[in-house]
A and B are shown apart, each in its own frame.
Chain A
Amino acid sequence: MEYIKPFKRILLVGCNECVTVCAAGGRKEVGLLASGLHMAVLKSGATIEIREHTLERQCDPEYVEELVPMIDGVEAVMSMACGCGVQEIARRFKNKPVFPALNTKFMGASERQGVWSERCQGCGDCLLGMTGGICPIARCAKQLMNGPCGGSTGGHCEIGEDTDCAWALIWERLKALGQIERYVEITPAKDWRPGGGSGPRKIIREDLAE
Chain B
Amino acid sequence: MRTESKLEKVLAAGHLAVTSECGPPRGSMADKVIEKGKYLHGVVDAVNVTDNQTAMVRMSSFAASVLLKQQGHNPLLQMVTRDRNRLAMQADILGAYALGIDTMLCLSGDHTRFGDHPMAMNVHDIDSVQLIQMVKNMRDEGKFQGGAEIKNPPKMFIGAAANPFADPFELRVLRLAKKIAAGADFIQTQCIFNVDKFEQWMEGVRARGLHKQTYILAGVTPIKSVGAARYMKNKVPGMDVPQEIVDRMAAVPKEKQPEEGIAICIETIERLKKVEGVAGFHIMAIDWEEKVKEIVERAGLLPRPQV
Contacts and interface: CB of A to CB of B under 8 A. Distances in A.
Contact, chains A and B (beta carbon distance below 8 A): yes
A189 B133 contact: yes
Contacts of A158: 110-111, 114, 237-238
A150 B188 CA distance: 12
Interface of B: 81-82, 86, 108-111, 113-114, 122, 124-130, 133-134, 145, 161-163, 165-168, 170-171, 174-175, 177-178, 181-182, 190, 237-238
A148 B178 CA distance: 12
Given A142-B127, A146-B178, A150-B161, 9 more contacts: A141-B111, A142-B82, A146-B130, A148-B166, A153-B238, A160-B113, A183-B171, A184-B174, A184-B177
Given A150-B190, A171-B168, A184-B177, A159 B238 contact: no
A147 B175 contact: yes
Contacts of A143: 122, 124, 127
A184 B177 CA distance: 8
Contacts, number: 112
B42 to A, nearest CB: 31
A150 B110 CA distance: 9
Nearest to B170: A171
A190 interface: yes
Contacts of A186: 129-130, 133, 178, 181-182
Contacts of A147: 129, 171, 174-175, 178
Interface in A150-173: 150-155, 158-160, 165, 167-168, 171-172
A159 B175 contact: no
Contacts of B129: 145-147, 186-187
A193 to B, nearest CB: 12
A188 interface: yes
Q: Label chain A's interface by main secondary structure.
A: loop
A151 B108 CA distance: 11
B184 to A, nearest CB: 12
B282 to A, nearest CB: 14
9 contacts: A143-B122, A145-B127, A147-B174, A148-B171, A149-B163, A151-B111, A152-B166, A159-B111, A171-B170
A189 B126 contact: yes
Contacts of B124: 142-144
Nearest to A185: B178
A116 interface: no
A189 B145 contact: yes
Contacts of B167: 148, 152-155, 165, 168
B128 A151 contact: no
B128 A153 contact: no
A192 interface: yes
B44 to A, nearest CB: 22
Contacts of A151: 110-111, 166, 237-238
A150 B238 contact: yes
Given A152-B166, A168-B168, A189 B130 contact: yes
A151 B235 CA distance: 11
A148 B238 CA distance: 11
Contact of B171 (A141, A160, A171, A188): A171
Contacts of A160: 113
Contact of A153 (B134, B175, B237): B237
B146 to A, nearest CB: 10
B107 to A, nearest CB: 9
A134 to B, nearest CB: 14
A141 B82 CA distance: 10
A186 to B, nearest CB: 6
Contacts of A192: 125
B133 A148 contact: no
A158 B165 CA distance: 13
A113 B165 CA distance: 35
Contact of A188 (B133, B177, B181, B237): B133
